A and B are shown apart, each in its own frame.
Chain A
Amino acid sequence: MQLSMEGINSILRQYPSEQRYCLAIMQDMQRQYNYIPREGMEALSEYLDCPLSSLYSMATFYKALSLKPKGKHIIKLCDGTACHIRGASPLKDGIRRILGINEDETTEDGLFSLELVNCLGSCALAPVLVVDETYYGKMTLEKLPGILSQYREEQS
């Protein structure tokens, strides 16, 4: 896939060329492309005058950053303690049965990625599932197929 350098450059231009903005720039790229493309890494390396290797260590250290493209819809399953003891693990198994993906994997059609995330601070609604920006509280295995097919139908 050919990415437009214009898009990458417009993210870079929002920040001064200083190391302290490195994480913020990478987060913006992640948000824009659902991953950090190689072209973005190279452009950032030049912009900050910073070796590609140290950007690589940033990208692999922070959980919010990914070097592989993610699916169109990101399913975040909270596995904080409250969600864990109220049944996050059976939900993870349920998603695997329905979509055939484990955590950090993407469906073959590129529609969904599953992330197992740390506490989202919505413990009162445990267990919590977030698809893109929408929160689904008090999740059950029963509700799962309906919620997921909603996103699938939207596609077709």
Chain B
Amino acid sequence: MKKNIKVCCGTGCLANGSRLVAEEFERLAGEDALVECEIRRTGCNGFCENGPLVTIEPDHISYYRVRVKDVPEILEKTVKNGETVDRLLYKDDSGKPVRSQEENPFYAPQLKIALRNIGKINPADVDDYIATGGYEALKKALAMTPDEILDEMDASGLRGRGGAGFPTGTKWRTAAGYDVFPKYVACNGDEGDPGAFMDRSILEGDPHSVIEGMAVCALAIGAEEGFLYIRDEYALAVQNVRAAIRAAEERGFLGDSIMGSGRKLHLSVVRGGGAFVCGESTALMQSVEGKVGEPRAKYIRSVQRGLWDHPTVLNNVETLANVPYIIVHGGAEYAGIGTERSKGTKVFALVGKVKRTGLVEVPMGATLRHLIYDIGGGVQNNRPFKAVQTGGPSGGCIPASMLDLPVDFDTLKEYGAMMGSGGMIVMDDRSCMVEVARYYVQFLSGESCGKCTPCREGLKQMLAILTDICEGRGRMEDLDLLESLGETMQDSSLCALGKSAPNPVLSTLKYFREEYEAHIREHRCPAGVCKELTRFSVNPEKCAGCSACVRVCPTGAASGERKQPHRIDPEKCISCGSCREACRFGAIITKGRGEA
């Protein structure tokens, strides 16, 4: 039987060298007449850390960290003889090699709807998408009235995956209700939250599902033109979406007469300009119009007056990728997944100091513990878990005591965090929560558009205060000032960027106040991150003299003979922490500036 070799060519695997692996498969398979196979370059499989990934079907064998030199062996053993190459299999927590994705602890608990095709199909081949049932939803929607489509969307309970969680059906219905033409459909692919990359993965790996979702929306609301606003940094996503639009036009899924129905839809890609605030709906629309991307007050919603003051539906990438599934399987089936108020699945980017990093899709309502421990395998190097940061710069930091909370649109909000767009950054005891708060505030103060005072000035002041604390100049009364500044910004900022900007500060103050106090009162950074407050030294009893620290030290501060305890010269040390990361014996210790 003909084998299907799937080589992951998402951004992560490409960085690990998957293009060369794919080329080697193509070259060798072409030379050897005995090898009967088809080689497919797929989108991101989500398990980027272990890339490049190669999957052989129909055997369900998945190989990880595949190098060019492994290719002949895979062709010989697996493709010709159906045997596995054990060293390339994934090893589970007990060290046992697993053959298929279904047995892999990272993939087994997942339920893929938005990511259903990614890693299986070649995104550059529209026939691959059609073969998995693609454009069936569009065909079905063409036979439905707009009201029937809207009813199906309402029944599904789908809520916007960009973070705000507004019911998609309601948004569409509102736009459908206005008799103002032209109307527009737009896709928000300006994925800016640090630590989230599900939209990149979908746009790269399954662009047709987003296009199909937009086409269904256009039929429901009566739009004939649409835009996909995609970050310019996502070069592969821009390229794949543009190619997919062309292919869909050639096949008549887009264009002047969708599948011969006489209904029109033209889509085009708008490249983002590298401004985080353009992920905000009104700012995004300004940017699509070719202007500076500043948000406006939303007395009038953009579903009524959006692009060029006309009714516009703007949906997130992941939201749109769910639409074809809902139309084909029915809203009721979709609503059977998830929790009472959050239906369906959610894609999370599990990153930071977690063992298995990558993209995971699970039903709404999974607990943080399930995500981080069952799927993620726990904290890297078995260090203690300190916090998980959810929801990007608008979210908060959640401590270990709250790991059993279910993740959905509403629960985390009650605790000062949010699910947001689905970024989950795991932090261990070597992450400083004050520095994390300072990091987010610095990020946001650079990205604030400056239009409204609370956000512009509030962030500037917060940054000054947090920098003082991190550098040992903090005062206890600063903590009250941070809280009152934060509350003012939440109450009075113009758009969601400013309103949610204080969340990382307020949530760390709430759950990790003792770390702030250690910085201020004892001039000590408990995590050993804040340079001005940390001194590094070697514990001679633990030091094995392996000279790992000597090799990584950028300033020559670490020194010592092999097999003899090393030392760190405090005059030369710049407190970068490289030695601590390199040491396998836990011999590098940190002390506060004031400690003996």
Is A18 engaged at the interface, CB distance under 8 Å to the other chain?
A: yes
Stretch of B286-294, B459-467, B510-518, B588-596 lying at the A interface: B286-294
**Interface: A93 (CB within 8 A):** yes
- Residues of A near B440 (CB, < 8 A) are 81
Contact check, A142 vs B15: say whether CB atoms are below 8 A apart: no
A137 in contact with B274 (CB, 8 Å): no
Q: A64 to B274, Cβ gap below 8 A?
A: yes
Residue among B200, B234, B447, B576 facing the most chain A CB atoms (10 A cut-off)? B576
Contact partners of B503 in chain A: CB under 8 A: none
Residue B175 interfacial (CB < 8 Å):
no
B195 is an interface residue with CB less than 8 A from chain A: yes
> Residues of B contacting A27 with CB < 8 Å?
232, 271, 273
Chain B residues near A19 (CB-CB < 8 A)? 289-291
Kindly identify which residue among A23, A80, A121 contacts B287, using a CB–CB cutoff of 8 Å.
A23
B578 at the A interface (CB under 8 A): yes
Give complex CA distance A57, B287 in Å: 13
CA distance A65 to B200 in the complex (A): 22
Chain A minimum-CB-distance residue to B290: A22
Is A84 positioned at the interface, with any CB of B under 8 Å from its CB? yes
Interface string of A17-34 (1 = CB under 8 A from B): 011111110010000000
Residues in A with CB closer than 8 Å to B349 are: 123
Task: From A64, A85, A123, give the contact of B436 (CB < 8 A).
Answer: A85
A141 touches B552 (CB 8 A): yes
Q: How many residues of A contact B (CB 8 A)?
A: 47
Of residues 8 through 23 on chain A, the ones whose CB sits less than 8 Å from some CB of chain B are: 18-23
Instruction: Render A97-121 as a binary contact track against B, CB cut-off 8 A, 1 for contact.
Output: 1000000000000000000011111
Given A125-B12, A137-B16, A61 and B292 touching (CB < 8 A)? yes
A40 vs B14: C-alpha distance in the bound complex, in angstroms? Answer: 35
Is B431 at the interface (CB under 8 A from chain A)? yes
Closest to A97 in B: B554
How many chain B residues touch A (CB < 8 A): the figure is 61
Please name all residues of chain A whose beta carbon is closer than 8 Å to the beta carbon of B200 when the two chains form the complex.
Answer: 121
Contacting A at CB under 8 A, from B191-215, are 191-197, 200-201
Among B274, B358, B436, contact of A124 (Cβ-Cβ < 8 Å): B358
* B11-26 vs A, Cβ < 8 Å mask (1 yes, 0 no): 1101110000000000
Q: Smallest CB–CB gap between B360 and chain A, Å?
A: 11
Task: State whether A122 touches B276 (Cβ < 8 A).
Answer: no
Minimum CB–CB distance from A119 to chain B (whole Å) comes to 4
Q: Is A94 an interface residue (CB 8 A)?
A: yes
Given contacts A63-B274, A137-B16, contact A125 B49 (CB under 8 A): yes
Whether, in the assembled complex, B235 has its beta carbon less than 8 Å from a beta carbon of chain A, the answer is yes
Bound-state Cα–Cα, A71 to B48, Å? 31
A94 with B288: CB separation less than 8 A: no
In the assembled complex, the CB of A35 is this many whole angstroms from the nearest CB of chain B, namely 14
Residue B581 lies at the interface, judged by CB distance under 8 Å to chain A: yes
Report yes or no: B289 in contact with A123, Cβ–Cβ below 8 A. no
B276 lies within 8 A of A81 (CB): no
- Measured CA separation A20–B98 after assembly (Å): 52
Q: Knowing that A140-B552, A140-B578 are A-B contacts, what are 18 other residue pairs whose CB atoms are under 8 Å apart, sorted by A's residue number?
A: A20-B290, A63-B275, A64-B274, A65-B273, A80-B195, A81-B194, A81-B436, A81-B440, A90-B554, A118-B443, A121-B196, A122-B11, A122-B12, A122-B15, A123-B197, A123-B349, A124-B358, A126-B351
**Contacts A/B (CB < 8 Å), 7 sampled:** A82-B352, A87-B581, A90-B576, A90-B578, A125-B15, A137-B15, A142-B551
Query: Could you tell me which A residues sit within 8 Å of B by CB distance?
Result: 18-24, 27, 54, 57-58, 61-65, 79-82, 84-87, 89-90, 93-94, 97, 117-126, 128, 133, 135-137, 140-142
